[in-house]
């Protein structure tokens, strides 16, 4: 499986059976569109793979900023079309939640929230309940993804890059996770956790923008003046 996520950092991963074989990550949030396609090419070439060797493409659906999030979704959809592969979508916050689930269980946090930077002094967030079965940690989302100021985040242990941004404005920012961003590698692991329990991945790749675009169409054209 080829995974791409650009909801925060730009990242690409190749995986087999939930094991990440190779990955690419860049924290340069200004070059998502330029970085993703070359990264896919390089990872595929290094692994000696072509599109016909893949079973599916997986994309992170956000939430995330308009430009960055679109880059990953369009790249994933285009590759799926070109290679005649199914394209699946997973909420990027869910992928990060699968990443921290073992730590949350070890800390006794039966419920927690993942928070990432939404800019404008706001955070993207989603709350989860975590338990463990014979296959490992299982997360259950508690509501839909949201965006808002740090003060709106539920009074739960907070994991993710957003916790490092506003530790004094959150009720319980868990230290040690300030560098945690949703990634393609975590998407791949989350997808395996889902499918290994007999569930199907969603084919919905609609972006989770959560708020209106900064670009606005004028209500009426301006009159030209001499």
pLDDT along the chain (226 residues), means of 10: 95 96 85 86 97 97 93 96 98 97 97 96 97 95 97 97 94 93 96 96 96 57 54
Q: Concatenated DSSP letters for 154-167?
A: -SS-EESHHHHH-T
Nearest by Cα to 44 from 77, 83, 99: 83
d(CA 37, CA 100): 28
Q: Give burial (CB, 10 Å; 0-12/13-18/19+) of 28.
A: exposed
* CA atoms in the 13 A half-sphere facing the CB of 64: 28
d(CA 163, CA 225): 51
176 sits in the region (left: phi over 0; alpha: psi -120 to 50; else beta) called left
What single DSSP character describes residue 91?
-
Residue 27 pLDDT: 79
Residue 9 pLDDT: 92
State the pTM of this model. Answer: 0.91
Cα dist from 209 to 55, 155, 201, whole Å: 28, 24, 21
d(CA 97, CA 99): 5
Nearest by Cα to 58 from 112, 2, 8: 2
Nearest by Cα to 185 from 123, 117, 92: 92
């Amino acid at each position: 499986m080829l995974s791409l996520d650009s909801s925060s950092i730009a990242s690409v991963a190749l995986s087999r059976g939930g094991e990440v074989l190779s990955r690419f990550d860049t924290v340069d949030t200004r070059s998502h569109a330029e970085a993703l396609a070359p990264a896919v090419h390089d990872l595929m070439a290094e692994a000696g793979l072509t599109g016909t060797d893949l079973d599916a493409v997986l994309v992170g659906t956000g939430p995330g900023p308009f430009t960055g999030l679109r880059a990953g979704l369009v790249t994933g959809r285009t590759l799926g079309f070109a290679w005649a592969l199914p394209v699946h979508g997973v909420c990027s916050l869910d992928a990060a939640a699968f990443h921290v689930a073992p730590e949350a269980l070890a800390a006794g946090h039966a419920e927690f929230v993942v928070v990432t930077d939404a800019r404008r002094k706001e955070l993207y967030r989603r709350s989860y309940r975590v338990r463990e079965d014979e296959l490992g940690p299982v997360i259950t989302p508690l509501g839909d993804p949201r965006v808002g100021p740090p003060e709106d985040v539920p009074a739960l242990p907070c994991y993710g890059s957003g916790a490092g941004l506003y530790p004094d404005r959150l009720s319980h920012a868990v230290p040690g996770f300030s560098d945690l961003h949703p990634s393609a590698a975590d998407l791949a692991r989350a997808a395996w956790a889902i499918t290994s329990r007999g569930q199907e991945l969603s084919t919905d790749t609609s972006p989770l923008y959560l708020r209106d675009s900064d670009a606005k169409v004028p209500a009426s054209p301006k009159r030209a003046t001499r």
